[in-house]
Each structure stands twice: as structure tokens, then as C-alpha cells.
Amino acid sequence: MRHTTRVVLALTFLTACAFSCWAVGDEDPFAFDIGLRLFGADIGIGYRGLALLPNADTTIWAYVGGGYETEHYYRDPSGDFLAPGSLAPGGVFDGLNAAFQRIEGAWRLGVDQGFAWNDRTKTNLVEAFLFYRGRYDINQIQPGLVLYNASILDKDGILLNTLQAGLGYNDLLFNKKNKTQSGFAAEASAEWGPAFFFNTLIGNSDFIRFNATFRAFLPLYDAAPSGSANLLSIYAGEFAAIDYAIGIGQAVPLYIRQSFGGRIQTTGLGGDVRGVDNGGYDANLKAVNNLELRVNLPSICWPDLVPGVVVFFDAGYYDQVGEIGTPTPTPSGIVASTGAGIYIDLLDLASIAAYVEYRLDSINADGQHLWPFNVEFGMHF
């Protein structure tokens, strides 16, 4: 949702968001992961008091959450992506609204099992994970919405149950003084949502998807490495992901097409590429690459209240390969954007960022290149 109300509510929740990522000390067997949304929350409780292997953490996780979300749908009644400018005044679908409201509930249960320890980060260096994931979406649709005219099976909502397994590598280290990160992390996973797993009760799902993600950070400059608080520090970051979902006799559900998989599931190509139609380009195959340069400015009042400036370049690729009813060769393309933003690190617990985003490859469905002000809870990656 890119509206003025989002900005106002973001400021209202600013203090609460400082507690959105909290974990107790290493000596405590319990860990907590609390993430706030604009209207909603996701709460995770982990138990790590049972070590299955020496010199590695075993964490059993249970998550529950939900929210009232503004989502978007950018396909015409035939299933093709909306053409650039088609929702703008005078466009083919002038007067329709791509945004719709979704009531969402989500839950997860699983385990992270380490196989090697990282003395630098004090976390598992290599770990495997296995999760059961469930969600129940209710889409509130009405005449005048693009989704109202869609022919997809999960137009009104979905009950989705999946099994997810994967491997992860983590060598990311956060510098508490200058607020930079260093190192890299990678993850590969598969997620399976078979029809027999209660996936035909609401909607109709039968699919498997594969995902790989990579993120890396490189410190470039620290003006006061021996100081007690950050003066000026600069670092670069990169995030890359590729996601491919295969429908087994049924079309891949909208939520799966509109998200990148893995343990932390993100918006999808429209959204992960900033400035592009949020929720757009929901193809079975998609990839994204985000490049950022972050400049941490002098701390404000406290060492752990640090503002900053970020400059970014995003690019993504989509291909409708494997989608039911698409022509051959399958439609594909590249989207790209650039922009800048400001952010503030809140006591190492959370952050809030505001961006100006400019789409490079085309205009959006509403006829615009520019998103003048978009707020995100947390950094983009």
C-alpha cells in the first residue's frame, strides 16, 4: 500500500516496531521473533534447549500470525499481465483498482538443525530446516477491482498447507558500533503443496516450488573505528533470489506466484523491485537482484539511534514458463528501478526506511514512473 495513510500509520507504529525483532540472551533456551505489520503481527517462539548434535544449535519453532493487508492484482480477465498505462486515465482498464483487501492468517511449525558452528557470528554456520507452513487468506473483492474479473481458482481466498525443507549457510556479522554488516549468507529450499494436503477445501492447489537466495555485505569506510559511537560508515549490500513454481495439474496459487520462497518469504518481483507495480509480474519463474550503498550518519542522542542514506538499483526477470494457458514461447521480460531513501536504525532492534523510487524499463499500470514516497518497516534486505 503506497498511500498517505501508510506514512501516518508508520509513524504511529514507530516505537512499537523497535521491538519487532527480539531474542533473549544466548544462555536462555527460548528465543522470540516478533514482527509487526501495518495491521497485524507474526509471533514466533523457539526452543533451543535440546541439542541434537554437539557444537550446533537445534531450534524448534512455532509461529502464528495474521493481518489485514492491502494487496494488488495486475492481470486482465484473460490472465495476461496488465499493459503499462492500462489503469491510467484513458487506459483500457481506466476506472478499475488493482488494490484489494486481504484478511490473512498464517502459522508455521518446524525445526532448524545446525551442522557446523560459526565462531565469528556465534550462530550456526551450516544448518538444515524443515517446516510445515499453513495460511488462510480471505480476499475481499467487489465490482470495480481488477481481481473481481479474474478467473483464477483462489480469487476469493485460499487455505494453503505446505511442507518446506532446505539448507542454509550464514556468515553475516552485524557491527553494533557502526551499524554495518559484513559477510554473506545463502539458502536453498523446496516447498511442496500437494492437493491431498487439504489444499482443495478452499481454492485448489497442487504445486512444488524451488527457491535460492543470496545476500552479502561489504564494509567500505569507517571514519572513527576506535570511537564509542558511529561517526560515518559506508557499506555495500547485495540480495539475489530466484524462484520457480511448477503446477501439478493446477495453476500455481496467487500467493505463491506473488512471493519469493524460503524461510522468510518476500513480496515477489513487484515489490522486491522497488517502484514496480506492487504484486505485479507474478510469474511462475522470477528472479531479482538488489544492489545498495548505505551510508550510516552520526548517531542521534544515543549510540544506537543511527540515521542513514541509501542509494539502490534493482532489477528482475520474469518468465511465464510452466503457466497453464500461456502461449509458446512464454511471455518474459526484465524490470528495473533505481532510487534513494533515508532510514533510521532503532536500538539495533528494528529500522524504518522511506524511499523515492523510479522505474527504468517502463511506466507502471497506473501510467507513472515515479513513487515519490514509500515507507518500509525494516531495510529492504
- C-alpha distances in angstroms, 379 versus 123, 231, 298? 21, 20, 18
pLDDT confidence of residue 27: 65
Q: What is the pLDDT of residue 324?
A: 86
Give the model confidence (pLDDT) of 104-129 as tens digits: 999 999 999 999 999 999 999 999 99
> What pLDDT is attached to residue 28?
80
Reduce the secondary structure of the chain to three states and give it as a string: CCCHHHHHHHHHCHHHHCCCCCCCCCCCCEEEEEEEECCEEEEEEEECCCCCCCCCCEEEEEEEEEEEEEEECCECCCCCECCCCCCCCCCCCCCCECEEEEEEEEEEEEEEEEEEEECCCCEEEEEEEEEEEEEEEEEECCCCEHHHHCCCCCCCEEEEEEEEEEEEEECCEECCCCCCEEEEEEEEEEEEECCCCCCCCCCCCCEEEEEEEEEEEEEEEECCCCCCCCCCEEEEEEEEEEEEEEECCCCCCHHHHCCECCCCCECCHHHHECCCCCCCCCCCEEEEEEEEEEEECCCCCCCCEEEEEEEEEEEEEEECCCCCCCCCCCCEEEEEEEEEEEEEEECCCEEEEEEEEEECCCCCCCCCCEEEEEEEECCCC
Please answer whether residues 183 and 175 qualify as being in contact, where contact means their C-beta atoms are separated by less than 8 angstroms. Answer: no
Q: What is the structure's pLDDT at 25?
A: 42
In the structure, what pLDDT confidence band is assigned to residue 38 with cuts at 50, 70 and 90?
A: confident
Write the CATH number for 211.
2.40.160.50
Domain that holds residue 336: 4-377
Confidence of residue 327 (pLDDT cuts 50, 70, 90): confident
pLDDT in tens, 145-157: 999 999 999 999 9
- Between residues 244 and 376, the one the model is more confident about: 244
Q: What is the pTM of this model?
A: 0.89
Domain count of the fold of the chain: 1
What pLDDT digit, counting tens, does each position of 268-285 carry? 999 999 999 999 999 999
pLDDT for residue 286: 98
Handedness of CA 121, 122, 128, 132 (dihedral sign): negative
pLDDT in tens, 231-269: 999 999 999 999 999 999 889 999 999 999 999 999 899
- pLDDT band at 15; cut points 50, 70, 90: very low
For residue 31, what are the β-bridge partners? 46
**Of the listed ranges 22-31, 213-222, 302-311, the one predicted with least confidence:** 22-31
Task: Give the whole-angstrom CA distance, residue 292 versus residue 234.
Answer: 11
